[in-house]
Amino acid sequence: MEITKECEIDMFKAVLFDLDGVLVDSEPAYKRVDMRILESLGICMPNEEYDTWMGTAGEEMFAQLKKQYGFSQSVGELTRMQLDFMLEDFRKGGFGAIDGAASLVKTLGEKTDFVMAVASSSPTVYIKEVLNRLGLREYFQLLISGESIPRTKPAPDIYIECAKQLSIDPALCIVLEDSKNGITSAKSAGMKCIAFSSSKDRNQENDLADYTFDKMKDIERFLLGLADHD
């Protein structure tokens, strides 16, 4: 566990979760799927370049890559392919919940007054299916997908919209993120941010985050401590 800045006990009203890499261990699956799609387009992308897209919506990624590489397939076709492959992988058990994530969500939902929401760059149908199958949907008052937001992470739009729909000041929200793009999005929205660093295969730049943890159990204890001070 690392607290990257002075830990002040603030009064938070909402805990906002990213999905991929925070609640579900799906980022290796996304990487497999995206590399498969890119290879079908004749694109061999280095790992370092791919990592810069972590936390960005598939539609945004493919739109930018289409400008760069000029492939003929439409952005819509590629994002649908990505979604189909990811759901297929999930249904076959290719990935599941991050260790300790379900306990964190259930504990906060049952023992605190925090309002909870998911703000993910992934499509709505994917968010709902993953949460439903993990038995976590009931704990979230709001789900927001990047497909309904004009600018995706690292822009702050998704978190600003989340706070707006919850009618909660962004300063009273704390976000759980795992990617540089997601952390930048949360901080640009005026929120405190916890960086969850579990990935062993890529370096994360968490300097912007207020707190950094590598175990969900530590995040659970930390947030329960904040709830006790509210």
State residue 6's pLDDT score: 43
Residue 230's pLDDT is 55
Position 51 in a domain? yes
Whether residue 210 lies inside any domain: the answer is yes
Backbone angles phi, psi at 25, to 5 degrees: -85, 60
User: Does residue 9 lie within any of the structural domains?
Assistant: no
Quick one: 127 and 21 in the same domain? yes
Task: Kindly state whether residues 128 and 202 are assigned to the same domain.
Answer: yes
Question: Range of 44's domain?
Answer: 27-91
Q: Can you list the residues of the chain whose pLDDT is less than 50?
A: 3-9, 200-203
Q: Verify that 178 and 209 share a domain, yes or no.
A: yes
pLDDT at 138: 98
Verify that 81 and 158 share a domain, yes or no. Answer: no
Q: Are residues 51 and 124 in the same domain?
A: no
- From 132, 129, 127, 131, select the one nearest 146 (Cα to Cα): 127
| pTM for this entry | 0.88
Report yes or no on 7 lying in a domain: no
Q: How many domains does the chain have?
A: 2
**Do 220 and 118 belong together in one domain?**
yes
The pLDDT of residue 4 is 44
Q: Are residue 53 and residue 105 in the same domain, yes or no?
A: no
Q: What is the pLDDT of residue 227?
A: 77
pLDDT at 56: 86
Helix axes 124-134, 75-91, angle to 10 degrees: 10
User: Are 70 and 141 contained in the same domain?
Assistant: no
Are 86 and 30 a contacting pair, CB within 8 Å? Answer: yes
User: What's the pLDDT at 202?
Assistant: 46
Strands of 211-213's sheet in order across: 142-145, 115-120, 14-17, 173-177, 192-196, 211-213
**Domain at 218, CATH number:** 3.40.50.1000
Q: According to the 3-state scheme, what is the secondary structure of the chain?
A: CECCCCCCCCCCCEEEECCECCCECCHHHHHHHHHHHHHHCCCCCCHHHHHCCCCCCHHHHHHHHHHHHCCCCCHHHHHHHHHHHHHHHHHCCCCCECCCHHHHHHHHHHHCCCEEEEEECCCHHHHHHHHHHHCCHHHCCEEEEHHHCCCCCCCCHHHHHHHHHHCCCHHHEEEEECCHHHHHHHHHCCCEEEEECCCCCCCCCCCCCCEEECCHHHHHHHHHHHHHHC
pLDDT at 228: 67
The answer to whether residues 85 and 106 belong to one domain is no
Structure-derived torsion over alpha carbons of residues 143, 148, 152, 155, reported in degrees to the nearest 10: -80
Q: Which pLDDT does position 125 carry in this prediction? A: 97
Residue that finishes a domain, picked among 91, 119, 146 = 91
Q: Which residues contact 120 (CB under 8 A, 6 or more apart)?
A: 18, 19, 20, 127, 143, 144, 145, 146
What pLDDT score does 148 carry?
Answer: 87
Domain contains 120: yes
The per-residue pLDDT for 174 is 98
Gap between the Cα atoms of 44 and 67, Å rounded: 16
Take residue 21 and report the two structure tokens written for it. Answer: 């890499």
Residue after which a domain boundary falls, among 39, 69, 91: 91
In a domain? residue 157:
yes
